[in-house]
Amino acid sequence: MMGRVPGGDGRLTHDLMPDERGPQDACGVFGIWAPGEEVAKLTYFGLYALQHRGQESAGIATSDGRRLLVYKDMGLVSQVFDERSLASLKGHIAVGHCRYSTTGGSTWENAQPTLGGHAGFTVALAHNGNLINSAQLREHVMERGTQGFDVHAGELRRGNTTDTALVTALLVDDPSTTIEERALEVLPMLRGAFSFVFMNEHALYAARDPQGIRPLVLGRVERGWVVASETAALDIVGASFIREVEPGEFIAIDENGLRSKRFAEPEPKGCVFEYVYLARPDTSINGRVVHEARVEMGRTLAREHPVDADLVIPTPESGTPAAIGYAQESGIPYGQGLVKNAYVGRTFISPNQTIRQLGIRLKLNPLREVIKGKRLVVVDDSIVRGNTQRALVRMLREAGAAEVHVRISSPPVRWPCFYGIDFATRAELIATGIEVEDVCRSVGADTLGYISEDGMIAATNRRRDQLCTACFTGRYPVELPAEDQLGKGLLEMQLPLDVR
């Protein structure tokens, strides 16, 4: 069962400015095995809690032990599903996904969960992360096809151009094996970031890459188990947190309980940007509540880059916890200097030229009486291209700010991410090849201060060797292939596969 494609030419956008794309979130995954529960509705609410991780498409698969159904479509979770569609998804097992595309375009064909199967079983798979050996996996899929395996049994036949579709094809290409046996053969072949939640007609499965780059947690409900990208999704469905899925771990859940196997030795390198921006502030990662980490980053920022000012204001909403910490440490009053319109920006309607010229005012508007004549400290989580900060500083000055001091709770972003965050290319990153003073002049601020790498890491309560900081340092924990084998559109140039 498949969702329909909405009519019209509109594209879903969640930009702060119409022409300015910041760091886009990874995807959100959710899985549940709970006989006697309305698993489709629980998955819907779990995805609702993970909506910040992907706003392009959403999907849910369910099974009643005999038949596996999938419903997916373009749009937000609340746009894709209603009471009628959820009521049609019967069963006691479910897998859900909300997507931001990091491999393959933003099309209905690429929405997840991906579907594949053979006479023995059907698989629905949801993926958070990004594989860096997709070109090699594609070659392996083609080779399997020449050996007589049906690699087209699923999304590849329908034009899916994602790394997730390749993994799905490999999981179902050998009818002589069980899904668990095949998973333990396929998972060690994968390189990069993957937090998988998948299912067949009878069981729920989860797996996390050996580095544990993207988060994945295990929870318990009264009648079963839940796996999700973040602990906030467990909270919303009333599940108790049990533990994180370990790096290099494969989990199976069915009527016989939970089984765990190790398919690779763990080499923990959790994404530090989850603490800075990606995860919900009420999520806990490795025992550290994200909100607390961000407040501590703000405190550190105040110690590292003090300034005489009258008011600390955040860039809503991403800069709020760090701004609170900055105000607490500096003793400068915290205030609300910008009002955010929560409803503009997540729309299918493309702005016309008049609206486009308004730029940042689509999302933020200054409280003139609050900021007029004030020396402001403006706190945000990151600077990517710099266009948003440039427009924001100009807007605050026009509203009467006497001084604008920008403080950023992460180091300069100088390198792209290949593990599930869609940053700009290196040439587009404002901090590439220039000093902080040059960035400051470019955005028009009086002063600019970034938190140090050491300060950011200390706020997470994790060791440096347990974190991936590649977007700040260029040190990638999983060795990258040649440049021509990387990129969001790589598989669109190579698929569909010519396999008979």
**In sequence order, what are the residues at sequence separation of 6 or more whose Cβ sits closer than 8 angstroms to the Cβ of residue 398?**
none
Whether residue 271 is annotated as binding a ligand: the answer is yes
Residue 248's SS3 state is coil
Helices (H), 316-386: 320-330, 353-358, 368-371
Rounded Cα distance between 448 and 377, Å, is 10
Residue 354's SS3 state is helix
Cα–Cα distances (Å) from 163 to 312, 321, 408, in that order, read 43, 35, 33
Alpha-carbon dihedral sign for residues 376, 379, 383, 389: negative
Rounded Cα distance between 52 and 18, Å, is 18
Whether residue 98 is annotated as binding a ligand: the answer is no
Alpha-carbon dihedral sign for residues 297, 298, 303, 306: positive
Q: What is the DSSP letter of 108?
A: G
For 316, other C-beta atoms within 10 Å of its C-beta total 18
Angle of helix 290-304 relative to helix 320-330, nearest 10 degrees, comes to 50
Rounded Cα distance between 382 and 20, Å, is 14
Q: Would you name the residues annotated as active-site residues?
A: 27
Whether residue 417 is annotated as binding a ligand: the answer is yes
| Residue 119 one-letter amino acid | A
| Residue 357 one-letter amino acid | Q
Whether residue 440 is annotated as binding a ligand: the answer is no
Binding residues for Mg(2+): 318, 380-381
Binding residues for [4Fe-4S] cluster: 271, 417, 468, 471
